[in-house]
Amino acid sequence: MNIIKTLTKSIREYKRESILSPVMVSCEVIMEVLIPLLMARLIDHLGDGSMTELIRYSLILLVLAFISLFFGATAAKESSTASCGLAKNLRQDIFDRVQTFAFQDIDKFSEASLVTRMTTDVTNVQMAYAMLIRAAFRAPLMIIFSVIMAFTINGRMASIFLVMIPILAVIIFGIAIKTHPIFVRIFKKYDAMNNGVQENIQGMRVVKSFVREDHEKKKFYEQSETVRSDFTHVEKILALNNPTMMACVFTSITLISYFGARLIIQTQGSALTTGELSSLISYGVQILISIMMLSFVFILCLISAESAQRITEVLNYNASITSPAEGKKEVADGSIDFEDVSFKYSEHGKKYALSDINLHIPSGATIGIIGGTGSSKSTLVQLISRLYDVSKGSVKVGGVDVKDYDLESLRDQVAMVLQKNVLFSGTINENLRWGNPDASDEEILRVCRLAQADEFVQEFPEKYETMISQGGTNVSGGQKQRLCIARALLKKPKILILDDSTSAVDTRTDAKIRQAFREEIPDTTKIIIAQRVSSVEDADQILVMDGGRIAEQGTSQELLNKNGIYREVYDSQTRSSGEEPAAAETGKEE
């Protein structure tokens, strides 16, 4: 009931079509069950030789056939509109719900699984819904009315149908119990297979550079083979459905034909006429077709039941990070405070990614962060804009706990350029305006100059109207990083976070970007995560992360004097680049 209640919320503007379809189907069924009864009258009047009666019944049958056709066509049109509308709304609702998810929520479902739910699962539900509001109404009504009409003709003959219907119900129920667990297993394997495809496409350059195409093909074949094997197994079970039901119904028709013919001969047509026997056979055929249709609907519902469950799971999922009811909308300044902060990715996890972080960053300061892989540099800054929530302690921005801010207002003032720079298909202008949809051309030009992006953009024939392919594959890594920095600057944030986002930029361009930041946005708090010491050595404060803790903190010169981790990294990088330590300590660029 919870699944049905959740899915029906997405019908919305298609309620009229959803109601009209079964109404039209009901009218169609009434017309169709009257036709065999009138056919019986017509057959019985053939021996009378009365043309008037023949013409009258023929005209009535013709009118009923056209009325039935009208109701059937209308029902088909309305059910198609309603089911397609439901699918559209479901995809929109799932997409809207996903937009509220935090990073950890996305990790829980996985990207591939969410895509499968929005495509394959929604399509399954769409097909099932189209059948439910049309065929699922038509088949039971047709069976009920046909049996009733058969009883009005001859109760003893019609009772044969009543014996067969429970037998068919038991068969269908048995198939459902057997196949449902298999469908649950299949959809989980679908997710795994789609996840493998997604990884392969995203990492195509790595696959080719390591010549691992054969390995990837073999891995996909094995995943695809397991899905095929399960589907084959379930199809073998479902294949028993139709022949079993046809055998039952045709047995019913054969018995009616045999006993009906005997009854006509024995009673000289007084207990049962030839026309009535013909009608009983017609009703038997209608019941056969209806049961076949009902079994098809049942199988489709079996397949879509798991899809409906998976869709409902997303729609009813409460995001782990939400805005407070009366969230603060104004961010006073770019100051940041970490107070006894500890964090772990799972509440059930034992190990903390961050431990005992105490830090004050004044508004307008430039903070550099370095550390080895896995030292939780990125995790630290992601707490500032509530991409994750702290497990212990608090993070404050502008003197206010980030949990007390309206999420949109907070993130509008905290611009992040993440490690994985993403550009979307569209022009450079369209990508940049993600930072500010109302930005003028002059503002775009200014931020691109700050990010050292204008120079290479001007070299493109279409300049800022140059089309970016999906994922930004037609620009270099350094160009992509600079465009992403420009996009972040366009937000005019109080806090700018660069998470290793100049790694693909040469040191000369990196220095120009940092100089532009100092001169053009002095009031913006700047946090720079980098692997290169040269990218952070002129920062007001440098944090050295190690094992999820702040191991060292101070200016570049202070950290050099400590002869700790920073000194080791500094010396290794300056020696490998051929710099003299004394010259490097002055902070001069080559």
CA gap 145, 159 in Å, rounded: 14
11/228 Cα distance (integer angstroms): 33
How far apart CA 494 and CA 398 sit, in angstroms, is 9
Q: How far apart are CA 193 and CA 357, in angstroms?
A: 40
Q: Which residue type, as a one-letter code, is found at position 190?
A: Y
Burial class (CB in 10 A: 0-12, 13-18, 19+), 70: middle
* Contact present, 534 and 510 (Cβ < 8 Å): yes
> By CB neighbour count within 10 A (0-12 exposed, 13-18 middle, 19+ buried), where does 97 fall?
middle
Q: What is the pLDDT of residue 576?
A: 53
C-alpha–C-alpha distance, residues 501 and 485, integer Å: 8
Distance in angstroms (rounded) separating the CA atoms of residues 589 and 356 = 36
Candidates 474, 482, 402, 484; CA nearest to 435 is 484
Question: Residue holding tokens 């069976």?
Answer: 143
Does the CA dihedral 159-163-164-168 come out positive or negative? positive
- pLDDT of amino acid 50: 64
Q: What is the pLDDT of residue 171?
A: 76
Count the neighbouring beta carbons within 10 Å of the beta carbon of residue 346.
11
Q: What is the pLDDT of residue 590?
A: 31
339: its two tokens? 């107070």
Q: By the 8 A CB rule, do 157 and 259 touch?
A: yes
- Asked whether the beta carbons of 82 and 14 are under 8 A apart, the reply is yes
Provide the pLDDT for residue 46. Answer: 66
Contact 565, 552 (CB under 8 A): yes
pLDDT of residue 67: 92
Residue pair 65/174 in contact (Cβ under 8 Å)? The answer is no
Residues in the chain, total: 590
Contacts of 138 (CB under 8 A, 6+ apart): 25, 28, 29, 75, 290, 293
219 near 192, Cβ under 8 Å?
Answer: no
Collapse the DSSP code of 339 into the 3-class scheme (helix H, G, I; strand E, B; otherwise coil) and give the result: strand
How confident is the prediction along the chain (590 residues), in pLDDT tens digits per residue? 788 888 989 999 999 999 999 999 999 988 888 888 888 777 776 656 567 777 887 888 889 889 989 998 999 999 999 999 999 999 999 998 888 888 778 877 877 788 888 888 899 899 889 888 888 888 888 888 888 888 888 777 778 777 777 777 777 777 777 777 777 777 777 777 777 777 777 677 677 777 778 888 888 888 888 888 887 887 777 777 777 777 877 787 788 888 888 888 887 767 777 788 888 888 877 887 787 777 778 777 877 888 888 899 899 988 888 888 888 888 888 899 999 999 988 777 778 889 889 999 999 899 999 888 778 888 899 899 888 888 899 999 998 999 999 888 888 888 888 767 778 888 888 888 888 888 888 888 888 888 888 888 888 888 888 888 766 677 787 888 888 888 888 888 899 998 887 777 778 888 888 888 888 788 889 999 988 888 888 889 999 988 888 888 998 888 888 888 888 888 887 775 554 443 333 333 33
